[in-house]
Amino acid sequence: MPSAAHNEVVSLAMMLMERPSVTPDDAGCQELVAEHLAGAGCRIRHLPFGHVSNLFAWHGQGAPVLCLAGHTDVVPPGPLNRWRTDPFTPTFRDGRLYGRGAADMKGAVAAMVVAMKRFVHAYPQHRGTLTLLLTSDEEGPATEGTAMALRALRDEGWVMDFALVGEPSSEDRLGDVIKVGRRGSLSAACTIFGKQGHVAYPKKADNPIHLALPALQALAGHDFADGNALFAPTSLQLTNIHAGVGADNVIPPELVVRLNCRYPPPTTAQQLQQLIAALLEQHHLSHALQWTEGAHPFLSVQGRLLQALSGAASAVTGIEPHLSTAGGTSDGRFFHAHSVEVAELGPRNESSHQIDEWVIPEELGLLAAIYQDTCCRLLTA
């Protein structure tokens, strides 16, 4: 990798990291990207919705349409005094580049932008269309971001074939994991009703904590047995338990437990709702359940994009990536809803959302090379 190319990616990443784009504030990141790409001959559209900034850039025409996709927003830094250096002052230390968004995902955005510039410079007459879609609403509710931008673009006649998402997918080494799907997410708040009373007269009350314990044990230990080669089985995590009226001598009237399930296809949110309700019924609990459906699970077709991306990753890193669907949700699901082949490859994910988030600067140059080679494999020849 020529060092000039690596420096170009790192310096763009640092310029993005200096902008405190805590979701959904883009803080000027997309304008910076737009300047770079317009200067390289790309066409630019801003697609703002509400407080959310979205940027669409493209070069070329016709099919196939490859979309490089990502986000410019970051999660809040958390307590500033726990960062060794300011989260919005990108800093080199011990061979790493520290700052909020380094791994998730301004490093990958910089790599995509540089890859796009270098590709259109090398192949001004490439076939098909190379596009980039960035949003400032991936870490937030994600309603006015990629999902809305894709609907607007579809209404204008855009048909995407491939979406390469730069979320931090790698585990031990850059390029060791490509994500081809994601689990679904379902949350619930469950209220278990008892009868309030004096702790000294338990027979005259009905303690909802005692009533709930066996059911909570059963929920926490339930084997959903719905995993397969690419997906882990459903994981149910209790995330909060609350009861009590603030006095040690009172049996509380009710207990509220919150939970979240991460589940694979073809399991559905409805199936999980029925199963969990039935489990509570088995324990004869008087209860009320309130559900919040997060992302639906998806598994992408594994076609030419995956072939191109795996080939590019192996060529650049010398290792064969393996396929995974682990981790949280991503905007890949919105592309999947438009029947677009989705694959995700980005930097190592171990510091995402953490205090002292970091990325290895040399890996950003390699990442740009992987993205550029993927463009070559799909849009030339």
CB 142, CB 49: distance < 8 Å: no
Determine the size of the site formed for Zn ion (CB under 5 A). 3
User: Taking contact as CB under 5 A, which single stretch among the options 36-44, 99-107, 197-205, 332-340 is the one that binds Zn ion?
Assistant: 99-107
**Cβ-based nearer residue to Zn ion, 168 or 321:** 168
**Cβ-based nearer residue to Zn ion, 321 or 327:** 327
Could you tell me the two tokens for 166? 């730069």
Under rule CB under 5 A, residue 359 binds Zn ion: no
CB 136, min distance to Zn ion, A: 12
CB 23, min distance to Zn ion, A: 10
Binder to Zn ion among 33, 52, 105, 309 (CB under 5 A)? 105
Coil, strand, or helix at residue 290?
strand
**Cβ-based nearer residue to Zn ion, 70 or 175:** 70
Could you tell me the two tokens for 49? 């919705």
In 3D space, the residue among 374, 330, 366 whose CA is nearest the CA of residue 69 turns out to be 330
The DSSP code sequence of 47-110 is --BTTB-EEEEEEE-SS-EEEEEEE--B-----GGGSSS-TTS-EEETTEEESTTIIIIIHHHH
Q: Sign of the C-alpha dihedral, residues 131, 136, 138, 144?
A: negative
Q: What is the largest distance, in Å, between two alpha-carbon atoms of the chain?
A: 84
CB 240, min distance to Zn ion, A: 25
User: Taking contact as CB under 5 A, which single stretch among the options 101-109, 226-234, 247-255, 302-310 is the one that binds Zn ion?
Assistant: 101-109
238 φ/ψ angles, rounded to the nearest 5 degrees: -75, 130
CB 101, min distance to Zn ion, A: 9
Instruction: Report 126-185 residues binding Zn ion (CB under 5 A).
Output: 167
CB 142, min distance to Zn ion, A: 11
Whether residue 105 is preceded by a cis peptide bond, meaning omega within 30 degrees of 0, is yes
Coil, strand, or helix at residue 295?
coil
**Cβ-based nearer residue to Zn ion, 167 or 357:** 167
**Cβ-based nearer residue to Zn ion, 105 or 177:** 105
How far apart are the C-alpha atoms of 183 and 298, rounded to whole Å?
7
Binder to Zn ion among 8, 26, 104, 161 (CB under 5 A)? 104
Name the residue whose CB lies closest to Zn ion: 104
Task: Kindly list the catalytic residues.
Answer: 73, 138
Site residues for Zn ion per CB under 5 A: 104-105, 167
